[in-house]
Structure 1
Amino acid sequence: MTSDLVCGELDWICEKLDTNRKRFQNNFPSACSELGRYRIKGNDDWTNGFWTGMLWMAYLHTGDETFKTLALDNVESFRKRLSDHYVLDHHDIGFLYSPSVVAGYRITKDKGLLELIVQAAGCLAGRFQKKGGFIQAWGALDCDREYRLIIDSLLNLPLLYEASAITGNPEYASTADMHYDRVLHNIVRPDYSTYHTFYFDPATGLPSHGATHQGFRDDSCWARGQAWAVLGIPLHVRKAAVAGEREVYGKIVDYFIGHLPKEEIPYWDLIFTAEDKQPYDSSALAIAACGLMEAEAVGYYKGAGELAKGMTAVLAERCTSRKEDAEGILLHGVYAFGEGKGIDQANLWGDYYYMEALMRLKNPGWETFW
C-alpha cells in the first residue's frame, strides 16, 4: 500500500468514527453490527476497549481534540466498571484496558491512569489457577467445567507486563510467562494449527484436552484463533523481552497463509475450502496483518512486513465500503458462526485491528497500545 492510500483510508475511518461518535455519545457500539449498524450499549461487553482504542487512534491521526475528550470520558467509564467489578469475571481484561487506559496513559502521560492499569492487571491476575499454571478464561474459578484457557488470552497478557513495568513487581510478568507457556505447549497441535480452548484436570492441574468454542469442530482450526497466535506470539517476544518459539511461530504463520483461499481472506474456520461456500472472517486477516508487522519488528518471520502490507491492501480493496448507512469499517466478519452472531457483518475488533494495521503502516516503529 502506498502512503497516500494508507492516509486516505485513515482519513475515511476517522470521518466514519466522527459520525458514529455523535450517535453513541458516552455509550458504546455492540460487539458486531446488525444489517450494517451497531446497537447502542453500555460498557458491559469484552469488546468495548476496541471502540475507545479507535478514538485514541483517530486523535493521533487527526489531532482533533473531540476524539481525545470522548476517549477520556470512556476511560472514566472503564474506571467505574473496574471499581464495580461489572461483568469482569473473565480473562478479557486486557482487551478492555489496554486499548483504553494503557493507550490513554501513553498519549496523555496522565500518571493518574497508572493505578487504574495496575488494578486492571490485578483483576486479570486474580484469575490465575496455580494448579495448572494458567489464567482461566471464563466463569467462576471454582467451576470444574470452566477449568480452561483459550487462545485469545495471548492478547490479554501485555497488560500484566505493563503492570510489572509500572510497579517493579515481577509477579504480574511471571503470571503472564507461565500462562504463555501453557498456551504454547498445549494449544498448538503437531501440524501447527491451534485449538480454540484447552482444558486442564482441575484435580491435578495436568493437561486434559483441546476443544473449540467458536470454531467448526474440536479438531478444526478457527481462523481468528490462529490469527490470535500470529499476533500474540511476537507481542510476547517484545513485551517479555525474550526469544524463543521462532520456528514454531513460523509454522503457525505458514499454516494460516497456506489455508487462505484465492480471495486471500480466510473463511471463518480454516478447515473450509471454496467448495464449502462458507463466510469469510475479515477480522482474522486484520489481526494477522498486525501480527506480521509485530513479527517484522522483532525479526520473527522473513518477509513479514511485505506480507502484512499485502493483507492490509486486500482488506482495503475487498472489505471496506463507503456507503453512508454502514457504520462498520471492516465488512465480511464473523463473530460466532455457531450462535448465528455477526455473520458477514462488521465487528469492533475487525474495525480496530484494520485501523491499527494502517497506523502501523503510517508510522513504522509506532508504539501500539499493547
Structure 2
Amino acid sequence: MTTLSPIPGTTTTDSAVQAALTTIRRNTETFGAAYPDDTTAGDRYERRPAEGAIPEGGNRGWTTSFRTGQLWLAWELTGDDAFKNAALVDTRDFARRVRAEEDLETHDLGFLYTLSTVAAWRLLGDEDARRASIEAADALMRRFLEPAGIIQAWGDLSDPAQRGRTIIDSLMNMPLLTWAAEQTGDQRYADAVRRHTAQLREHIVREDDSTFHTFYWDAQTGEPVRGATEQGAFDHSCWARGQAWGVYGFALSYAATGDERLLEASRRCARYLLAHLPADGVPFWDLVYTDGSDAPRDSSSAAIAVCGLLELAQVETDAATAAEWTARAHAMLAALVDHYTPARPEDSDALILHSVYDLPRDNGVDEGTLWGDYFFVEALMRVTRPDWKKYW
C-alpha cells in the first residue's frame, strides 16, 4: 500500500482538486443541461440514452444526481457561480421529475434528491428545492413494506421478482428520510430509517463481517428469506462497492439515530474491507479476489470507502481507532490520486479511471463512473476542507 497520506494543503491533494475541477468544468460546457450516461465508454461520457418518453440526455435512472453533486462541490471549492448556476438547472429539473412522477420506482430517490434538491436547500435555502425534497421523501416512503420494515429496492411494488427485496446501497438513501423528519417533525420518516437499518444490520451483514449485496424478506409475513447478489461474483462473495456502502451508510445511520449497534456495523464493514484490500489499497470489484488476480479493480468502491472511513472517524468514540480510520482513508485516497487518475485532465471525461459498474452484465467494466467521480471529489473536499458540511 502507498505510504503517502494526503493532508489538507498538500501539493498532492491541491493538484488533484485542480485537475478534477478542470474536468468538471469541461464536462459542464460539453453537456449543458443534458445528463451524461452512468459510465464512460473508452473514457468518454456520452449522453444518457433515451428511454420511452424520456429523450436522450434526459433525467432518468439512479445516477444523474452525481453530476449535480459534483457541481455543488465545485461551487463550494471555487465560489464560481457558473457551477452553482449549472447545479440549479439540474435542481429545477429534479423538482420537475418528482412532480411529473417520472421514473420514481426506485429506492435511489435518496441518492437522486439528497445531492440535488436537499443540497440546494442546505447551501442556498432554496424553498422550492425543500418542497421537492419532501415530495421525493414521500415517494420513497411509498416503498416501505409492512410488516418487514424495509424499503423495497427496485421496480413496481407489484412485481413478484422484486417484492420484499432490499440492497445494501439502500443505506445511502436513508439520509433523505432523516432530513425529511428533521424538516417536518413527522416521525414516520425517522421510524422507517430506524426499522430499515435495523433489518440490514441483522441480515445483510454476515457473521464474518462481509455483506450480501441484496436480501429478500417475505412481504406478507415479514420473515427474512435469503441473501443474494446482482452485481457481485456470487451470492456468498462480497461485492466491493456494497461493502463500501456499508461502511459509509451505517456510519451515517449511527449519526442519525445514535444506535450504537449501527456504529459497530460500520466498524465491522470497515475492518473486513480493509483486511481484503490488495497491496495498493484499491479493491478488486469483488473482495473475493486478491493480489495476483487479473480481475478488474473498482476505483469507485475505494472513493466511497474513503468518504465512509472519514465519516466513521468523525463519529468513532475511540480516539485511537478514529485516527486509524483517518490514516487508512488518506492512504486509499493517495492511491487513487497517484494511480487511478488520468495523466492529464484532457485524457478522460472521468475523474478516476478503472471503475466497474456491473461486471456480470459486462456493463461499465474498467471505465469511469458518475458516482466514482462524485465520491472522489467528496473525498478531496473532506480532506482539504475538514469543516465541510456534508449533503447527506
TM-score by length of 2: 0.92
Q: Is residue 108 from structure 1 mapped to residue 124 from structure 2 by the alignment? A: yes
Q: Is residue 86 from structure 1 mapped to residue 86 from structure 2 by the alignment? A: no
Shift of 1:305: 1.1
Q: Among residues 185, 205, 208, which one is paired with 1:168 in the alignment?
A: 185
* Aligned counterpart, 1:180: 197
Q: Is this contact kept in 2: 1:91–1:137, CA < 8 A? A: yes
Q: Is this contact kept in 2: 1:144–1:202, CA < 8 A? A: no
C-alpha distance in 2, partners of 1:353/1:271? 23
* Aligned counterpart, 1:332: 354
* Aligned counterpart, 1:365: 387
**Amino-acid identity (%):** 39
Look up the equivalent residue of 1:307 and give its one-letter code.
R
Correspondences of 1:174-323 after superposition (within 5 Å): 174-299=191-316, 301-302=321-322, 303-321=324-342, 322-323=344-345
CA deviation digits over 1:70-98, x for unaligned, max 9?
Answer: 10000011011111111110100011000
Look up the equivalent residue of 1:221 and give its one-letter code.
C
Runs of 5+ consecutive residues of structure 2 not aligned to the other structure: 1-5, 48-56
C-alpha distance in 2, partners of 1:62/1:310? 25
Shift of 1:323: 4.6
C-alpha distance in 1, partners of 2:362/2:378? 27
| CA root-mean-square deviation | 1.2
SS in 2 for 1:123: helix
Shift of 1:294: 0.3
Q: Is residue 129 from structure 1 mapped to residue 151 from structure 2 by the alignment? A: no
SS in 2 for 1:53: helix
Shift in alpha-carbon separation, 1:275–1:157, aligned structure 2, 3 A: same
SS in 2 for 1:32: strand
C-alpha distance in 2, partners of 1:97/1:76? 11
CA deviation digits over 1:28-67, x for unaligned, max 9?
Answer: 1111000001111211120011100000000000111000
Q: How many residues align structurally?
A: 370
Shift in alpha-carbon separation, 1:26–1:245, aligned structure 2, 3 A: closer
C-alpha distance in 2, partners of 1:144/1:202? 10
CA deviation digits over 1:259-283, x for unaligned, max 9?
Answer: 1111211000001123431000001
TM-score by length of 1: 0.97
Look up the equivalent residue of 1:106 and give its one-letter code.
R
C-alpha distance in 2, partners of 1:363/1:268? 29
C-alpha distance in 2, partners of 1:166/1:203? 32
C-alpha distance in 2, partners of 1:261/1:101? 38
Runs of 5+ consecutive residues of structure 1 not aligned to the other structure: none
C-alpha distance in 2, partners of 1:244/1:219? 23
